[in-house]
Amino acid sequence: MAERVFPRGPARLFQRLGPRSQVALCQLPLTLIVAALAVATPYAWPTLLNSPLFLAGILLSGALFLGCLLVPWERLMHRPYLLIPILDFVAIGLLRNGAAPLLPGLAVLAVFPVIWLSASGMLTRISLVLSFFGPLLIMVPSLAARFPNLTASDVTTTVLFPLMMLAVSLAIRFASVHVRLQQRELAEKDRELRKLLRESREREKLLLTVLDATDVGIAAVDRSGHFLVSNNRQRNFRQATRADDAVPGQGHQLIFGQDRRTLLPPEKRPISRAIAGESFADYLVWAGEGPEQRAVSTAARPLVSEDGQLTGAVVVYSDVTGWVEALAANQELVSNVTHEFKTPLNSIIGNVDLVLDDVAALPPPVAKRLLVVQRNAERLLALVADLSASASAALNVHPKRTDLASLVETSIGSAQAQAEHANIVLTADVPSPLWAYADPLRIGQALDNLVSNAIKYSPDGGSISISAQSTKEWVQLSVSDTGMGISGEDTTRVFNRFYRTESAKGAAIAGAGLGLSITKMIVEGHGGNITCASGQGGQGSTFTLTLPVEGPPPSF
Ligand code: ADP
């Protein structure tokens, strides 16, 4: 890039003028003084009107100014306007020598052409030579007039004056070198700044292109929620959630919770959660209304400055509508199929039960085979019931203010006989009442499942305890046993559908691997969660489910 200096003020004005005006402007100060001299002469020094040299000096000065204005400098090769200051020396010489000894000080006018030549940017050596010899030329005639009666003072004055002008020229040179260095430095900095700016614009463009090429919406926001960067996907998402008319107290965004109908309160929206400093993943919200409504899985990470201050957040949105719809279709299929299985299975079990009512009348081999049919049909029915529950668990949760202590009591009551049979001591340490926002039917089902698992997977007997903890926002129920335990990695896998641990399979304990996945769906349907921890030394396990104390605030 070419070096560019950006002049300011008078310098910029000078640059805008044409070459003729520029040259005339340089000549103007000298011309004005000579003009003033010419006007004052008839009154102040009338004798000078008789000096042809003086008059010639005035005329030459005027002619030079006219020349500045009239000569087409722009068309001439090498722009020879520096002839003007050189000829100025001649005009000043004529003026000074024509006015001597009346006005010897006129020689000082030589400072004007000296300044012009020194600041003109011509070769230093030439400008120095001219700055010395021009003034010398002005002084020599008066010296010559006194020849041969020269005094030391005459010679000194004659030489000192050109030397002074030479010093002026040198000073201007040094000053202009300094200015030029500063300008170069400025130009260098300006170039670097422009380069940095260009690079940063290119980087920003690259970043935006990459962001726009991804199929997830990405937004970076500052602490007050203003967008710093966002990509096309995110803008589409914002478009989809823009409400046509404002909903009182809910702002202008159509972002719904899991039920697809309840507007999320502002503080539960992904961006609000993110700028509050929360870090989350897989937070599912529904964007927009009607057939255009989309399921959006969101995740957020806080932006933290070097000194640890929270400066904003990055929020990522992925459209998971297809996935959610596929899951719902899958659940609907399972629910329909299991429903169709139940009727014939109930018929088989009912008929076998009827036949087995009079088991003594049956030949023993037939009775034995019918008992196998009965056992397997019942197993099949239990499996079908589990499958059907797994398909509907997430969909049919109706939470309300519920006392968990009474649910625990009921669960213990129904498991007591099974526990005694397995030589297990069942205890509970739960304060009563223990309020939570829960569907009593579903949470009862989840508790039954955890307690019956604890009994089932404690083949050697032992103890099971149910305990509770609560905060202002959450209630936790833990079911701990002293049974066979669950190894490290399996503590998360056990919640997957059909997953069974090796030790459970090895111990030939019957099961389909559906109970915990149903329990998880139920708890998550309440906005809570469930975790599993293995006991000390791999013995025993603890399942903890966390539920909200209060439901969401009513929506308008
Ligand atoms: P099921 O019990 O029908 O196999 P679940 O989904 O209830 O299905 O449990 C999944 C697996 O988790 C079980 O097969 C078993 O391996 C393990 N599991 C569940 N509860 C316990 C427990 N209390 N102790 C040890 N293992 C357990």
* pLDDT, one tens digit for every residue, the chain (556 residues): 444 445 566 777 777 778 888 899 999 999 999 999 999 999 999 999 999 999 999 999 999 999 999 998 888 877 688 899 999 999 999 999 999 888 878 999 999 999 999 888 777 888 899 999 999 999 998 888 888 888 888 889 889 999 999 999 999 989 988 888 999 999 999 999 999 999 999 999 999 899 999 989 999 999 988 999 999 989 888 888 876 654 444 456 789 987 788 888 888 899 999 999 889 988 899 998 888 889 999 999 999 988 888 999 999 999 999 998 998 888 788 888 888 888 889 999 999 999 999 888 889 999 999 999 998 898 888 888 878 877 765 557 888 999 999 999 999 998 999 999 999 999 999 998 999 999 998 899 899 999 999 999 999 889 999 999 999 999 999 999 999 999 888 999 999 988 999 999 998 898 888 899 989 988 988 889 999 998 766 689 999 999 999 876 554 3
Distance, in Å, from the CA atom of 422 to the CA atom of 415, rounded to the nearest integer, reads: 11
Give yes or no for a contact between 390 and 520, defined as CB atoms under 8 angstroms apart: no
Distance, in Å, from the CA atom of 372 to the CA atom of 363, rounded to the nearest integer, reads: 15
Domain boundaries along the sequence of the chain: 10-189, 217-319, 325-391, 400-548
Strand arrangement, sheet containing 227-230? 227-230, 217-222, 310-319, 294-304, 280-287, 255-256
What number does CATH give the domain 400-548?
A: 3.30.565.10
Question: What spacing in Å lies between the alpha carbon of 515 and ligand 1's midpoint?
Answer: 8
Cα-Cα end-to-end distance for the chain = 62
Q: Which of 532, 524, 522 is nearest to 493 (CA)?
A: 532
What are residue 522's DSSP bridge partners? Answer: none
Q: What is the pTM of this model?
A: 0.51
Residue 85, token pair as written in the block: 């200051």
Nearest residue (by CA) to ligand 1, atom 11, is 500
With tokens 């130009």, the residue in question is 187
Q: Which of 379, 457, 490 to mutate to test the pocket of ligand 1 (most atoms within 8 A of CB)?
A: 457
Give Dmax over CA atoms of the chain in angstroms. Answer: 170
| 282 torsion bin: left (phi>0), alpha (psi -120 to 50), beta (else) | left
Give the single-character DSSP code of 483: S
Assess whether the region 217-319 and the region 400-548 belong to the same CATH fold.
Answer: no
Give yes or no for a contact between 178 and 198, defined as CB atoms under 8 angstroms apart: no
Instruction: Give the binding-site residues of ligand 1, using a 6 Å CB cut-off.
Output: 453-454, 457, 481, 483-486, 494, 499-501, 504, 511-517, 541
What number does CATH give the domain 217-319?
A: 3.30.450.20
For the CA of 500, the closest atom of ligand 1 is 14
Count of Cβ atoms closer than 10 Å to residue 201 Cβ: 10
Torsion 170-174-175-176 (CA) sign: positive
For the CA of 501, the closest atom of ligand 1 is 16
User: What angle do helix axes 515-525 and 440-456 make, rounded to 10 degrees?
Assistant: 150
Q: Which of 448, 479, 494 to mutate to test the pocket of ligand 1 (most atoms within 8 A of CB)?
A: 494
Nearest residue (by CA) to ligand 1, atom 7, is 515
